[in-house]
Amino acid sequence: MSIGIIGAGGWGTALAVLLCRKHDDVSLWCHSAETLARIRETGENAAYLPSVKLPDRLQVTGSLETAASGRELLLCVTPSHFLREVMTRAAAFVTTETIVCCGSKGIEESTLMTMGDVLADVLGNSRRHAFLSGPTFALEVAQGLPAAVTAASAEPAVARKVQQSVGSPECRVYTSTDVVGVQLGGVIKNVIAIAAGVSDGLELGHNARAALITRGLAEMTRLAVKMGADPMTLSGLPGLGDLVLTCTGHLSRNRNLGFQLGQGRRLADIVAGTRMVAEGVRNTRTVHLLAQRHGVEMPIVEQMYGVLYEDKDPMQAVRDLMRRTQKAEAD
């Protein structure tokens, strides 16, 4: 299969490595001329996936036309806030037969659209779109360690095509038709992961982290179902699976950001010190707005919004969570 990957961050690069094990014609589009030059010189994407040798057969390019033209499968894995801009530029090279699979996790800030809504707005033909999500750290996928993800599409045949193309002995791909649930799980878990990191940074213990993950899943499910998702999706790989990984794994950018907040560092200083995107910062604002729009109670998200955007003391956020009115767990 001829495959193009739009976005040479950690996840895009890991997918390129994974897909080159199975396919001969894989192209990776790199936005940064500096990063592109270094990849060509060293054979590694040291900025985002250090110590991983890229396959010789991988075509790394700075041309969107080269990456996207004539591709049977096009994977878009840019940071979510760049998706509309990049895919608008790529639209001229996407045919009606191209399957476009989105691995970007986010909500567009100006419109509160899901990435699926953005792709449909830019490209049309949403029946050819799919969404890939699940508990995956890019480094482990690139190293060939076992992983499992979900490919969702409104058209089952499209989800199966992605399954066949991406699935391998190292990476199991399950299918779903719940495009809303698969997308929202990958967004909301980032916010809860920041909270879990704050808890660990404050040294609140394993009990607190387990409570945050469990109640975070409840919040995630409430909003996703309100927006049309199947609650079972949030119990699977794109929901619970991704939530557990992101809240507990040391490779989690969102957890690490929260950990530093819990230790007393300021958000601006943390962000300034890394070129890796912690999507949860932007996700916190958009999920907070979505909760308000849909009238869904999300107390963990609300407290994280206070910490990130209102300079609230992290320990005070914990106290406010714990002192809420007691209630039935199912409420």
Q: Which residues are catalytic?
A: 189
- CA dist., res. 70 & res. 53, Å (int): 27
- Return all residues near 132 (Cβ < 8 A) that are at least 6 apart: 75, 101, 102, 103, 149, 150, 151, 162, 166, 173
- Return all residues near 331 (Cβ < 8 A) that are at least 6 apart: none
Specify whether the CB–CB gap between 305 and 284 falls below 8 A: yes
Reported as type and span, the H/E element at residue 246 is helix 242-248
Quickly count: other Cβ atoms within 10 Å of residue 36's Cβ.
18
Reported as type and span, the H/E element at residue 27 is strand 25-29
Token output for 18? 């994974």
Token output for 140? 């482990």
Reported as type and span, the H/E element at residue 47 is none
- CA dist., res. 219 & res. 217, Å (int): 5
What are the DSSP E strand ranges found in 49-192?
Answer: 49-53, 59-61, 73-76, 99-102, 129-133, 147-152, 171-176
Exposed e or buried b per residue across 77-101, where buried means at least 16 C-beta atoms within 10 angstroms of its C-beta: bbbbbbbbebbeebeebbeeebbbb
CA-based Rg of the chain, rounded to a whole angstrom?
19
Q: Whose CA is closest to 255, among 286, 276, 236? A: 276
User: How many Cα atoms are found within 13 Å in the side-chain-facing hemisphere of 38?
Assistant: 14
Q: Helix 280-294 vs helix 299-309: angle between axes, to the nearest 10 degrees?
A: 130
